[in-house]
């Protein structure tokens, strides 16, 4: 820990919230160097939906490594890539009647967002992108330009251009429908909004404070975009890969985005990997036009394929996420009811849930009290008011209950003072 404090840049973040040195992890538990165990209610910010070191993925990777499989091959054809694509088509795209070409950008989420925005602008020959209040799409300049958080925008250090923020579902307290506001601005030639190339949206806003878009609003957004020749990009980096129940978070709304970004849990084991899914007729990239050295992490292809085969050959995981998600929200409601003077709001879908404490820094005080009790949970949204409840999807029910007990205790202790 001393070396980390002395040598790692002050940009470090999570290490400050969870001040111990972790050594090993299994499923929904992490252990530090002293052997203390921590229940994981963060899942690598959504990168570990299947938990830590899943045995099937670990064995697949071990076998690949020991067999001398290609580790790095730029974007050349490899067995690992071919098999991942075949499995993704068979288990994800075909059963959902979705047709997409797959682009491998650099291996992080923000790389996928940059590629998606660049392609949308190229296709439509327009620069404008609509984004939504409280949205988060990554930390490179193009992604920051479509992110709501003022501090993140400030950190860019340059002018962020060619984007317009629009109200997300539920943004107006007075019941005004955000999609009507959007339509009005797009259709008013005096609004100052130029015809955009695309709109980019999260169905559940992860970093913006767990705000959930209704199916109705997503359908309206799709219609507004279609009617006006605007591409719809769903950033499913955090909400996708089963977090809300179905593989894609937009499935319940029945919409078909033109472009989808995936990262975080797609590799299955926390290895860096990102995808841009592109409606086939929009795939107008020239060869090598958006290149990069690490496009195609073969180790991640191996674990991603193992994850798809293990968890997406049936709807068992989706059903479990629905069930456990409902249970989590019910228990959170109960915790709020039981805590005197704690006026928190429960929001979420599937196992993507949040507890909005509504008081600045209250969420971080509770998260700190959870850490003291052996649980890892983070805050999100403005002024750390929202606790993000994001356990691995494979967490046993008894561990979910144990974590919720810790949370209830931490709330009692934090609201007492």
What Cα–Cα distance (Å) separates residue 88 from each residue in 227, 247, 319? Answer: 31, 11, 20
Q: Smallest distance, Å, CB 327 to ligand PLP?
A: 24
Total number of residues binding ligand PLP (CB under 6 A)? 14
Per rule CB under 6 A, is residue 64 in the interface with ligand PLP? no
Closest CB to ligand PLP among 197 and 263? 263
Considering only residues 354-393, where is the footprint of ligand PLP by CB under 6 A?
none
Considering only residues 95-124, where is the footprint of ligand PLP by CB under 6 A?
108-110, 113
Q: Which segment (27-35, 199-207, 338-346, 356-364) binds ligand PLP by CB under 6 A?
A: 199-207
What Cα–Cα distance (Å) separates residue 247 from each residue in 48, 86, 149, 214, 243? Answer: 14, 17, 27, 17, 8
Q: Contact 141/108 with Cβ under 8 angstroms?
A: no
Closest CB to ligand PLP among 47 and 411? 47
Measured CA to CA, the distance from residue 301 to residue 84 in angstroms comes to 6
Measured CA to CA, the distance from residue 159 to residue 289 in angstroms comes to 25
Q: Smallest distance, Å, CB 45 to ligand PLP?
A: 6
Strand segments (E) across 236-281: 259-262, 275-278
Q: Which residues pair with 8 in a beta bridge?
A: none
Identify the residue among 179, 202, 222, 384 touching ligand PLP (CB under 6 A). Answer: 202
Q: Contact 105/112 with Cβ under 8 angstroms?
A: yes
Nearest to 376 by CA among 14, 52, 39, 25: 39
Closest CB to ligand PLP among 109 and 363? 109
> Which residue lies nearest ligand PLP, judged by its C-beta?
109
Question: Would you give the binding string for ligand PLP spanning residues 293-322, x where CB under 6 A is met?
Answer: ------------------------------
Q: Which residues pair with 165 in a beta bridge?
A: 131
Closest CB to ligand PLP among 91 and 115? 115
Q: Which segment (200-208, 217-225, 339-347, 395-403) binds ligand PLP by CB under 6 A?
A: 200-208
CA torsion angle 132 167 384 22 (round to 10): -30
Q: Which segment (13-21, 172-180, 233-241, 384-392) binds ligand PLP by CB under 6 A?
A: 233-241
Q: Contact 321/390 with Cβ under 8 angstroms?
A: no
What Cα–Cα distance (Å) separates residue 371 from each residue in 103, 119, 192? Answer: 39, 42, 48
Closest CB to ligand PLP among 164 and 202? 202
DSSP state letter for 167: P
Identify the residue among 114, 169, 222, 235 touching ligand PLP (CB under 6 A). Answer: 235
> Using CB under 6 A as the criterion, which residues of the chain lie in contact with ligand PLP when the complex forms?
108-110, 113, 136-138, 202, 206-207, 235, 237-238, 263
């Amino acid at each position: 820990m001393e070396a980390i404090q002395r040598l790692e840049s002050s940009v470090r973040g999570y290490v400050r919230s969870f001040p111990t040195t972790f050594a090993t992890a299994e499923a929904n538990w992490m252990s530090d160097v002293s052997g203390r165990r921590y229940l994981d209610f963060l899942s690598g910010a959504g990168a570990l939906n299947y938990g830590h070191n899943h045995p099937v993925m670990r064995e697949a990777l071990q076998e690949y490594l020991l067999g001398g499989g290609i580790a790095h091959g730029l974007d050349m054809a490899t067995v690992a890539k071919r098999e991942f694509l075949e499995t993704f088509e068979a288990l994800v795209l075909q059963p959902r009647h979705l047709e997409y070409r797959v682009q491998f950008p650099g291996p992080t989420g923000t790389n996928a967002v940059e590629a998606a925005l660049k392609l949308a602008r190229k296709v439509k020959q327009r620069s404008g992108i609509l984004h939504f209040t409280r949205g988060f799409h990554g930390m490179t300049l193009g992604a920051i330009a479509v992110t709501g958080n003022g501090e993140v925008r400030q950190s860019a250090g340059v002018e962020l251009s060619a984007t317009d923020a629009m109200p997300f579902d539920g943004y107006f307290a007075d019941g005004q429908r955000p999609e009507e506001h959007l339509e009005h601005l797009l259709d008013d030639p005096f609004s100052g909004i130029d015809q955009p190339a695309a709109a980019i949206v999260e169905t559940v806003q992860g970093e913006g404070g767990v705000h959930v878009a209704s199916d109705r609003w997503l359908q309206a957004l799709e219609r507004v975009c279609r009617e006006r020749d605007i591409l719809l990009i769903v950033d499913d980096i955090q909400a996708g890969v089963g977090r809300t129940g179905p593989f894609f978070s937009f499935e319940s709304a029945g919409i078909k985005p033109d472009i989808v970004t995936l990262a975080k849990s797609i590799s299955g084991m926390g290895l860096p990997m990102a995808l841009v899914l592109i409606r086939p007729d929009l795939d107008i990239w020239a060869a090598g036009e958006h290149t990069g050295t690490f496009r195609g992490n073969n180790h991640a292809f191996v674990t991603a394929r193992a994850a798809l085969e293990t968890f997406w050959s049936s709807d068992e995981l989706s059903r479990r996420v629905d069930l456990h998600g409902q249970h989590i929200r019910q228990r959170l409601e109960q915790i709020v009811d039981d805590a005197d003077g704690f006026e928190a709001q429960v929001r979420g879908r599937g196992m993507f849930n949040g507890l909005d404490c509504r008081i600045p820094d209250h969420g971080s005080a509770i998260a700190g009290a959870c850490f003291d009790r052996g649980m890892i949970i983070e805050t999100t949204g403005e002024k750390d008011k929202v606790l993000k409840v994001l356990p691995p999807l494979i967490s046993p029910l008894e561990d979910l209950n144990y974590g919720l007990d810790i949370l209830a205790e931490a709330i009692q202790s934090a609201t007492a003072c």
